[in-house]
């Protein structure tokens, strides 16, 4: 046969069109794969017919045309098998598509089927938990696209649909849809590689591929603005956690730009209140709140990282290295295959986002004057997030935002030199946390309540510490402080004791023996720390009543004794309190003597 009969081509085209129609149908839940199975059966018939035509074909041009159809059929069969959980069959079918395209990978008719087959094999082997094999297929797809892009005379690739058209006369002009299909396929390659590098724990490489996926979506204008903004903001979290605040800020700015552009173009002038419009508004508000939370994490982490840097700063600064928030300048090459150029190139150059970037610095802050603008921006973002995540409708999220707000005041207090203002900041923390916990059902939100009780205990302790320091500085003549001040100190002390007590009571019943208490690993440190705090606090309660002093010292002894006995019963717990345990052992020896002395003085 020197030519393919027109009726055969029309029949192939019609059958493939029917396959596409079947694959577009939505099946009932009782038969979720009904249409896919029907499409697979029709493709099998089509496959047999095309193979028969190839066997009878004499001319290379027509054999090539039929072979490209067969490659696409095997590809479609492989995808259907994957989607119907027949993974072994899927692998075989996709590899048959690869075998056909192996020596013709740069040919216009074969390039898209090959890249798609490589992509799907990458996904398949990822599903089979063989990430290295998955990476090999995906990297081959990436390399093939790069080779095509580097050609001096770009090829006009055939889309999958084009391969089955009986009349090819309309394909002589540039095939914009096929070109779009090729670009989409490559974008998917990058997306899948991002996931695989994450699985292989090369997280920096994964982040580069995530960025490049987002960048290609922008350039092709093929993206959902809300989803894109959320993905960009989420990626920023990775960079900021590695002190790459420059890259993190850029991605957050891009997210805000895309969200605002979407609002201006699609939501701002909506007049009606249809269900569809309301759903769009709700989705925008939801994701805007999420991006605001990502911004707030940025501001909070920048302040906390600046604090850690200042606290760890040596007396003799290292002149060889200056602190940087540009991730490309402090890569650990042993941990990644990513280059500095890869990181420095993580930019969305088509977006005009300096306005969004310039609202907050990307440099470490050094003092209160530097910290205040970061604090103000971050507080505003937290308030913005609360407009969607309300206590009534999203209690857990509302509490976490409040905790972030408390952490924000806490880190600002570090940069504040005035002790009175420090106390005011901690008082703001106390007020917001107590308001929240008063509104929560303690049983339904037990984990969150535990966190708040513990934080309140720490915050009251910090306020007490500041107050005591101020009294020591001002009391140069050894005179007893004003009774009102002593009463204030006792109030702070008791509040701290009570909140740590609430936390401990939520973990185990009062009166439980050490053998009855087996703490979960994540609870060991906070529980033992709470006892350590209480041990210190009971002895700080100021009273003239000897009986009360004795009672306070006994409670203090019980707290220190709990830590010693727990670590004796469960030796693994010692690593959670390496500094506190020696102090506890010493206090367990000293306090009984003190209690006896108080008792003796009382008798005398």
What CATH number is associated with residue 159?
A: 1.25.40.10
* CA distances to 13, 113, 169, 316 from 166, in Å: 6, 18, 9, 78
Residue 176 pLDDT > 60:
no
Question: Taking the mean position of all CA atoms in its chain, how far away is CA 344?
Answer: 22
pLDDT tens digits, residue range 548-562? 999 999 999 999 999
Is residue 75 assigned to a domain? yes
Q: Are residues 91 and 217 both part of a single domain?
A: yes
Task: Note whether residue 439 is domain-resident.
Answer: no
> Of the candidates 385, 417, 449, which is a domain's last residue?
417
Does 127 reside within a domain? yes
Would the pLDDT of 92 be above 50? yes
> Is 454 within a domain?
no
| 238 and 218 inside one domain | no
pLDDT over threshold 80, residue 221: yes
Packing angle, helices 446-474 and 521-538, rounded to 10: 30
pLDDT reported for residue 471: 83
User: What whole-number distance in Å separates Cα of residue 465 and Cα of residue 471?
Assistant: 10
In this prediction, residue 319 carries a pLDDT of 44
* Residues 123, 24 within the same domain: yes
> How high is the pLDDT of residue 188?
96
Of residues 134 and 332, which shows the higher confidence score? 134
Residues 22 and 105 in one domain: yes
Radius of gyration of the chain (CA): 33
Whether the per-residue pLDDT at 325 is higher than 60: the answer is yes
Higher pLDDT pick, 422 / 515: 422
What band does 379 get if pLDDT is binned at 50, 70 and 90?
A: very high
Confidence bin at 516 (pLDDT 50/70/90): confident
- Residue 291: per-residue pLDDT: 98
Q: Among 129-133, 288-292, 443-447, 506-510, which stretch is predicted with the lowest mean pLDDT?
A: 506-510
Q: Tally the domains of the chain.
A: 3
Question: What tens digit of pLDDT does each residue of 36-67 get?
Answer: 999 999 999 999 999 999 888 767 778 889 99
Domain membership of residue 443 (yes or no) is no
The CATH code of the domain that includes 598 is: 1.20.58
CA dihedral 357, 361, 362, 366 (to 10 degrees): 180
* pLDDT value of position 1: 47
Give the percent of the chain with pLDDT over 70: 94
pLDDT confidence band for 174 (50 / 70 / 90): very low
Average pLDDT over residues 214-239: 95
If asked whether residues 199 and 230 sit together in one domain, one would say no
Phi, psi of 534 (to 5 degrees): -65, -35
Q: How far is CA 26 from CA 15, 80, 137, 287, in A?
A: 19, 14, 31, 29
359-381 average pLDDT score: 97
Whether residue 318 is contained in a domain is answered as no
Q: Mean pLDDT lowest for which of 53-67, 117-131, 518-532?
A: 53-67
Residues 134 and 242 in one domain: no
Residue 434, in any domain of the structure: no
pLDDT in tens, 268-306: 888 777 888 899 999 999 999 999 999 999 999 999 999
Full residue range of the structural domain in which residue 521 is found: 515-603
Residue in 76, 72, 99 with CA at minimum distance from that of residue 165: 72
How far is C-alpha 238 from the chain's CA centre? Answer: 7
pLDDT greater than 80 at residue 332: no
Q: Is 326 exposed, middle or buried (0-12, 13-18, 19+ CB in 10 A)?
A: middle
Same domain? For 210 and 231 the reply is no
Evaluate if residue 178 carries a pLDDT over 60: yes
Query: Does 198 reside within a domain?
Result: yes
């Amino acid at each position: 046969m020197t030519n393919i009969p027109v009726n055969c081509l029309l029949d192939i085209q019609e059958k493939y069109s029917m396959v596409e129609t079947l694959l577009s149908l939505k099946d009932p839940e009782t038969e979720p794969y009904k249409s896919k199975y029907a499409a697979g059966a029709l493709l099998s018939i089509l496959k047999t017919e095309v193979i028969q035509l190839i066997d009878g074909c004499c001319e290379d041009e027509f054999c090539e045309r039929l072979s490209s159809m067969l490659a696409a059929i095997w590809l479609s069969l492989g995808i259907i098998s994957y989607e119907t959980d027949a993974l072994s069959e899927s692998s075989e079918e996709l590899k048959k598509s690869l075998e056909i395209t192996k020596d013709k990978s740069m040919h216009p008719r074969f390039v898209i089927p090959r890249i798609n087959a490589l992509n799907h094999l990458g996904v398949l082997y990822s599903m089979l938990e063989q990430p290295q094999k998955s990476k090999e297929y995906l990297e081959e797809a990436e390399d093939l696209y790069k080779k095509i892009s580097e050609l001096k005379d770009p090829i006009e690739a055939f889309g999958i649909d084009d391969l089955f058209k009986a009349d090819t006369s309309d394909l002589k002009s540039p095939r914009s849809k096929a070109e779009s299909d090729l670009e989409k396929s490559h974008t998917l390659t990058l997306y899948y590689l991002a996931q695989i590098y994450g699985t292989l724990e090369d997280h920096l490489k994964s982040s580069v591929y995530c960025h490049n996926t987002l960048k290609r979506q922008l350039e092709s204008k093929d993206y959902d603005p809300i989803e894109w903004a959320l993905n960009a903001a989420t990626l920023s979290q990775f960079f900021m956690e590695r002190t790459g605040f420059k890259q993190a800020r850029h991605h957050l700015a891009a997210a805000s730009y895309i969200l605002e552009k979407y609002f201006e173009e699609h939501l701002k002038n909506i007049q009606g209140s249809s269900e569809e419009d309301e759903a769009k508004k709700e989705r925008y508000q939801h994701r805007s709140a999420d991006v605001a939370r990502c911004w707030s994490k940025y501001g909070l982490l920048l302040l906390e990282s600046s604090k850690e840097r200042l606290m760890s700063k040596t007396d003799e600064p290292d002149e060889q290295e200056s602190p940087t928030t540009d991730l490309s300048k402090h890569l650990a090459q042993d941990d990644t295959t990513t280059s500095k150029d890869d990181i420095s190139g993580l930019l969305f150059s088509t977006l005009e986002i300096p306005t969004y970037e310039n609202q907050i610095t990307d440099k470490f802050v050094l003092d209160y004057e530097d910290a205040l603008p970061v604090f103000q921006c971050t507080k505003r973002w937290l308030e913005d997030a609360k407009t969607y995540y309300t206590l009534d409708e999203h209690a857990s999220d509302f509490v976490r935002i409040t905790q972030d707000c408390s952490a924000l005041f806490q880190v600002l207090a570090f940069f504040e030199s005035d002790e009175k203002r420090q106390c005011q900041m901690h008082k703001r923390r106390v007020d917001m946390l107590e308001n929240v916990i008063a509104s929560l059902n303690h049983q339904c939100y037990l984990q969150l309540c535990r966190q708040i009780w513990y934080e309140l205990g720490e915050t009251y302790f910090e306020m007490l510490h500041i107050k005591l320091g101020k009294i020591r500085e001002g009391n140069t003549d050894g005179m007893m402080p004003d009774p009102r001040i002593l009463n204030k100190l006792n109030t702070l002390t008791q509040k701290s004791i009570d909140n740590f007590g609430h936390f401990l009571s939520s973990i185990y019943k009062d009166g439980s023996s050490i053998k009855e208490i087996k703490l979960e690993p994540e609870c060991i440190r906070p529980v033992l720390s709470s006892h350590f705090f209480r041990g210190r606090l009971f002895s700080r309660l100021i009273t003239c009543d000897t009986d009360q002093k004795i009672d306070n010292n006994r409670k203090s002894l019980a707290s220190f004794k709990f830590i010693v006995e727990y670590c004796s019963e469960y030796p693994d717990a010692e690593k959670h309190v390496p500094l506190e345990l020696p102090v506890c052992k010493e206090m367990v020896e000293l306090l009984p003597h003190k209690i006896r002395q108080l008792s003796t003085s009382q008798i005398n």
